[in-house]
Homo-oligomer: A and B are copies of this chain.
Amino acid sequence: MATRTDAPTRREQILKEAARLFAERGFHGVGVDEIGAAVGISGPGLYRHFAGKDAMLAELLVGISGQLLTGAKRRLAEADGGPAGAVLDSLIEGHIDFALDDRPLITLHDRELDRLRDSDRKLVRQLQRQYVELWVEVLREVYPALAEPAARSAVHSVFGLLNSTPHLGRPGSLPGRTATAELLHRMARGAFAAAGGDAAPYG
C-alpha cells in the first residue's frame, strides 16, 4: 500500500471536517459557514471547491460505499481458494477497521442517504447492495444450511453490531483499539455461528 506523506489538499480537509460535522449534528444541522470555519475559510469560499453542500455529502457517501466494496473485493481475491471461514474473518476484520477508523463516516452511511439526488442515491444503494451480496455469498459458503433471506438478515444485523462503534464512547473509555476490535470480531463470529445453526447455550 502506498502511504501518502504529502499534505492533504483543501478538498480533503473540507470533506473530513464536513463528515465530522454531519455525523455530529446531521446534514441539515450544519451550516456551510460552520464547515468553512472548520477549515479556516468563510462559508461561500467552499463553493470554489464544491458545487454545493449536497455535493459534499454525495462525494462522502459514494466514497464510503465504494471504499467498503473495493476493500471487500480485494480481500476476497487475496484469500480466494482458502477456507471460507478465513474469508469471512477477513471481511469482518476489514469492516471493523473501517468502523473504528472512520466513525463519522459510519454514522453518515446509514443516516443521511435520503438527502442525496436520485442518481447519487441509486449509485450508493447499488454499491451497498453489492457489498451485502458479497458477504451473503461468503456466509452461505461457511454455513450452507443458511437460507438466503436469513443470511441477508444476518449480514445486516452484524453490520448493525459492527457499526455500533460510535455508541461505544470516546476512544479512551474503550479498553484499547486492539481489544475492542477483537471483541467485536468474536461477537460477529458468534452471531453468525448462532444464525448458522450452531448451538449457543448459556453457561
Residues of A within 8 A of B (CB): 24-29, 83, 85, 88, 110-112, 114-115, 142, 147, 149-150, 153-154, 156-164, 167-168, 173-175, 179-180, 183-184, 186-195, 198, 200-203
Question: Closest residue to A158 on the B side, CB-wise?
Answer: B161
B153 and A159 form a contact (CB under 8 A): no
- Most chain B CB inside 10 Å of its own CB: which residue of A27, A112, A153, A156: A153
Q: Which residues of chain B are within 8 angstroms of A153 by Cβ–Cβ distance?
A: 168, 174-175, 180, 183
A selection of 23 A-B contacts at a CB cut-off of 8 Å is A85-B202, A88-B202, A111-B111, A142-B202, A150-B175, A150-B183, A154-B187, A156-B167, A156-B168, A157-B162, A157-B168, A158-B161, A159-B167, A160-B161, A160-B162, A186-B195, A187-B194, A189-B194, A190-B193, A190-B200, A191-B191, A193-B194, A198-B200
Determine which of B28, B156, B168, B184 lies in contact with A26 in the assembled complex, contact meaning CB atoms within 8 Å. B28
B187 and A191 contacting across the interface, CB-CB below 8 Å = yes
* Residue contact B29 to A29, C-beta cutoff 8 Å: no
Among A88, A160, A173, residue most surrounded by chain B Cβ atoms (within 10 Å): A160
CB pair B161–A191 under 8 Å, yes or no, is yes
Cα–Cα, bound, A156→B201 (Å): 21
